[in-house]
Structure 1
Amino acid sequence: MRHARIQSSFDPATSTVTHIVADPITRRAAIIDSVLDYDPKSGRTSRASADAVIAHVREAGLAVDWLLETHAHADHLSAAPYLKQQLGGRIGIGAHIRQVQGVFKSIFNARDMNTNGAEFDHLFEDGEHFHIGEIDVEVMHTPGHTPACLTYVVGQDAFVGDTLFMPDYGTARCDFPGGDAATLFRSIRKVLSLAPETRLHLCHDYPPEGREPAWETTVAEQRSSNIHVHDGITEAEFVAMRTARDKTLAMPTLILPSIQVNVRAGNLPPAEDNGVRYLKIPLDLL
């Protein structure tokens, strides 16, 4: 079996990991969970993180076919449209993004927004297969954190988004619209039914003091030592823990700007009649 070549980079401002996944023979590639830099104090976007990805792709002589999102992120803005402009490729996400769009179209009164996923180039269904070069990719629908979360299984590697974190940090929160702790538990068990040696590539890491950021673990490690869902934890125990923990968590710093952009496939809202684009902050709603 041909193995994908994986290059990952950590963005310390958002604790996000972007993965470049390539077929070493055909040199076709996918970019998973890219980051557009955003300063919430000034409202300015910038592209240093995305430009670093572009530089690596070009230096490695890769051709990008896919710009993949594991879900509509609430903690960083996607750089997928900029990467598409510079490198090509199709922007893909789970088909249940339609449900997420429906919720946030109402919250932000976003009249320009579709609720049929039309902003994306491809909507993946559970069990669908596609290719990066000649390497097969299987799509697993793994909801719970959000309704549209996906895991991309590439041979012995799986890109799990926010569904799981490093074993010492645990699992994703489930208190966003459409999130559900019981659903997340079942999705995690689905991921952990993969072969024990399967490498799990994460979208974030929030390391405790004294540990450097890390974003690769295995099914076996998660089953033995994940603090929230190691083997032996029941669904009821997990739901009780996750529900109680979520009540203590603050909202992510960038949730309001990022979700408005990411449900539009990384596109900024349309300019108003003065030529300026605006992000909305709904008051006393969330």
Structure 2
Amino acid sequence: MSRPTFFNKAANSNDCNVYGFFEKSTSTWTYLVSDDETREAFIIDSVLDYDPISSRISTDTADGLLDFVKEQNLKVTRILETHAHADHLTAAQYLKRRLGGNVPVGIGKHITKVQATFKSTYGLHPFATDGSQFDTLFSDGDEVKLGSLKSQVLHLPGHTPDHVGYLIGESVFTGDSIFMPDVGSARSDFPGGSATDLFASANRLLALPPHYRLYVGHDYPPTERQETGYATVAEQREMNKHLKSGTGENEFVEWRAERDATLASPRLLHASLQVNLRAGALPDADEEGRIFFKLPVRVPAGF
């Protein structure tokens, strides 16, 4: 695993330190967010490596993250998810075990809606849809302390109904609620998604003070630049190609619907959801120790 990018914290002494780890095969940013005073840290949107061709899971990315935590002498106090990702597997349960088993895994409380939807899709029986696979279910406005710092949970639906962001100091970890200005916005066509909600969530972020940093969950950069973890609110207001200031809701919703209709399903969709609904746990093994992911197949009528 490559060395992380250290995003210097803002001038405000009450802000956090942010280390970003970019996982190239899924274009995912994982963030390690720490408090200088106490050395406590949060892990946000971790990655468990999965190769769908060989059906092999590995922990190289997560192990690199753990090595860095140890090197920096940090104490991880929470493992956080912005939503149930459909494009990569979370390493939350693996990290929890390696960190001693007591670090809570948290997500937005509307994960229950996503669980109920995909329980049927994948025929998951028995499977609890009350969010009990997670240690903490967050509501909008909940405060969670990171050492001496306060953080606030922001419900940011649209990409998915369970989506949340984490406001820590002057930094917001936005997941897929907004992307870099030259990428724009995420799809909103997953079950429970809504372009209208996505527009409202993005504008909630754009209403924050202009110097606040919005850290994105993925980056798909044009060829002329490398991966970038954040843009300021001011930069997003001025340059976001889908959501800059002056963009109307109807204009955005119409464009987003047209764009989403052209998109293929994410490459790791089925494996990701079946792990992420379980807070990073794998499906139960059979009597021979084998683990299987279910793959829904559509067939024509009368086949």
Taking structure 2 as the reference length, the TM-score comes to 0.93
Aligned partner of 1:22 in structure 2 is 34
Is residue 35 of structure 1 aligned with residue 19 of structure 2?
A: no
Deviation at 1:113, TM superposition (A): 2.1
Aligned pairs for 1:154-193 (under 5 A) are 154-193=168-207
Structure 1 segments unaligned to the other structure (5+ residues): none
1:202-253 Cα shifts (integer Å, max 9, x gaps): 1100011121111111111111110001011110000000000001111110
Amino acid in structure 1 at the alignment position of 2:30:
T
Partner Cα separation in structure 2 for residue 250 and residue 220 of structure 1 = 32
Correspondence list, 1:266-281, <5 A: 266-281=280-295
Contact map agreement 1:195 1:219 (CA 8 A) in 2: yes
Q: Distance in 1 between matches of 2:198 and 2:94?
A: 31
Letter of the aligned partner of 2:28 in structure 1? Answer: T
- Tell me how far apart the structure 1 counterparts of residues 75 and 97 of structure 2 sit (CA, whole Å): 13
Q: CA RMSD in A?
A: 0.9
- In the alignment, does 2:160 pair up with 1:146? yes
Q: Are positions 1:130 and 2:132 aligned together?
A: no
Does 1:91 find its partner at 2:105?
yes
Instruction: Indicate if the aligned counterparts of 1:8 and 1:18 stay in contact, CA closer than 8 A.
Output: yes
In 2, distance between residues paired with 1:233 and 1:61?
A: 45
The reply on whether 1:51 has 2:74 as its aligned counterpart is: no
Residues 113 and 264 of structure 1 are in contact (CA less than 8 Å); yes or no, is this contact kept in structure 2?
no
Establish whether residue 242 from structure 1 lines up as the match of residue 256 from structure 2: yes
Q: Secondary structure at the match of 2:231?
A: strand
Output the amino acid matched with 1:216. Y
Aligned 1:198-209 pairs, distance under 5 A: 198-209=212-223
Taking the aligned partners of 1:111 and 1:63, their CA distance within structure 2 comes to 37
Deviations 1:35-68 (A, max 9, x none): 0000000111001100110011000001111000
Q: Conserved in 2, the CA contact under 8 Å of 1:39 and 1:45?
A: yes
Paired residue type of 1:197: H
Range 218-227 or range 84-93, more displaced: 84-93
Q: What percent identity do the matched residue pairs reach?
A: 48
The one-letter amino acid of 2:25's match is A
DSSP-derived class of the 1:10 partner: strand
Contact 1:152–1:160, Cα closer than 8 Å, also in 2? yes
CA distances 1:163-220 after superposition (whole Å, capped 9, x unpaired): 1111001001001111000011011111111111000111100011121111111111
- Equivalent of 2:78 in 66, 73, 90: 66
Matching residue's letter, 2:84? A
Aligned to 1:7: 19
Contact (CA 8 Å) 1:3, 1:155: kept in 2 or not? yes
For residues 2 and 238 of structure 1, what CA distance do their matches in structure 2 show? 35
Residue aligned with 1:165, SS: coil
Q: Distance in 2 between matches of 1:94 and 1:254?
A: 22
- Post-superposition offset of 1:131: 0.6
CA contact (8 A) 1:74 1:254 kept: yes
- CA–CA separation in structure 2 for the residues paired with 1:179 and 1:11: 25
For residue 87 of structure 1, report the CA deviation from its aligned partner.
Answer: 1.5
Alignment correspondent of 2:123 = 109
Matched, 1:230 2:244: yes
1:76 to 88, 108, 117: 88
CA distance in 2, matches of 1:111, 1:42: 27
Distance 2:202 2:294 in 1: 34
Structure 2: segments with no counterpart, 5+ residues: 1-12
